[in-house]
Structure 1
Amino acid sequence: MKQRIWHGGITTTELGIGAAQFGNLYTETTDSESDDAVEAAWDAGVRCFDTAPHYGLGLSERRLGSALGGLPRDEFVVSTKVGRLLVPNPGGESEQDTDFVVPASTRRVWDFTRDGIRRSLDASLERLRLDRVDVLYLHDPDDYEREALEQALPAMVELRDEGIVRAVGVGMNQSAMPARFIQEIDLDVVMLAGRYTLLEQTALGDLLPAAALRGVSIVAAGVYNSGLLSTDPIPDDAHYNYQKVPQRILQRARQIAAVCAQFDVTISEAAVAFPLQHPSVVNVTIGARTSEHVAAAVARNAAAVPAELWSALVEHQLLDARAVFNR
């Protein structure tokens, strides 16, 4: 499997596995399913894994840590996130967490202070049963830009400078705020979900030019735009940005799929390949629940996608012309 070098010197596979579903996202997952997914990823050569305390109130981190146990630590890269502390939630044991099917015995509290960032990382390491993580992201600080700039990100840079983590950045579903962050703070990487995909290239107007100028690496997540680009043919009840897909977006996605078919490429294969064409994108991280999900991601990453496809999509006005590069 191909590897890419990240800003800060990390070298890992261009395909990563996201472990949000290990935290019972929308439906329950078993320990064995998570174990099998990591085993399948490892056997396929994947060496990059992403998680967060937010995913199932720590369940994703616990399951990922357990599944990685016994594997050679220097051979894989793990990222997790900070910004939300998990604190006791007395009396909440019978409640269910929003989006994640887990008992609400703890709850999330935003904390961007230096102490909060370090406490969050310490707790993640305990759940992961690791002595270190490689990459630390600030998770979804959309409503806390000032706190992020003045407190959290400097604290994370301090952790990197102390050698406690190897790279720091932000993980967000928008491109404008990370573009401002990387011009203000010496960050290594941005995990960008949904804003640089085969369907939507918003980041070409702000984040990607700034990343290229600053030498910041981009990890592309959400490349299926909430599942819309993951199935061929695209069903009428597909989702986009976590909601039912609007008709105009559905029509555009199907037009893209039709052009892909002319090159004997599925829209899901093109969706995985597309972000990696940009020089700043070092990794595509795809969420997986089972070994079958992992196998599908690996196969799509390995698919041969001709460069002529991107030019054809530009000609049909289905892709921003600025997205076509000669790597």
Structure 2
Amino acid sequence: MSSSIASMTGYARAERADGPQSVRLEIRSVNGRNLDMRLRLPPGFDALDIPLRQEVSRALSRGSVNLVVTVERNSVGGSVRVNPAALETVLAAMETLSARISPSTPPALENILALPGVLVLDQPTLSDDEDGIAALVMTCAAEAIEYLCAMRVEEGRATAMILNRVLDSIEALVSDAQDHPARAREHVEARLRAQLANLVADAGLPPDRLAQEALLLATKADIQEELDRLRAHITAARKLIADGGPVGRRLDFLAQEFNREANTLCAKANAVELTAIGLDLKAAIDQLREQVQNIE
């Protein structure tokens, strides 16, 4: 397993030449829920579709990948030819026009040959040199994919630093909530006394009912369980980042759990200050989720 997390974003290009033929392969990847590949190959090269997909699958587990192969043949003899049908069409059109108008000078040969379709550049196909061209393409693929993976890992390292900084912020906010005076026993008791006084004045409830209401209020205001789970999620997220590899899906799941606990904390907060901490937690968790979306 890789010692670092990897981004899903990257680009690489590789070129190889062998005699008159050359191959250029470009590969680009962006965020994706799964591994989604789109290949664009020259006509006649469909046989390489499956091998190229297998090569990409061995290196990548997630991301939307676009791979483009360009094959050129720079040969001198036989690679460029005249298209007889196109030439006859042009000559027939010239003859027709000459019968209606009298040009001062006849068209130059180079101008006729420059017309679209008159000269044809024969494009190579896999059958022209199956082993040679296929080897060039696969060599370029291996090289480009290696560069792409290196770029994704490099960007992943930078993302890991951002994630750890966001986790530091979340951890600090959890500590702020843990130590906030609004959670102190004296503060909770004073708040309960005020609420109970209102209950007595408004409803004249008996003492045992008042005790039940006091217990209920204290239970609803207790956020210790949420704080403990947030700390556990922080530890789990740090371990996933440190272990590396394709952990994007698990980090995304953890980010959802972070958000769930922050929502519950906001709902149970018994003071405006604790609610503000909860909202800051949600903002930090949104940053976490945004960064996680780009992790393989």
Length-normalised TM-score, structure 2: 0.20
Q: Hey, which of these two has a bigger chunk of strand by percent?
A: 1
Higher helix share: 2
Higher RCO, 1 vs 2 (CA within 8 Å, ≥6 residues apart) = 2
Please identify the structure whose Cα radius of gyration is greater: 2
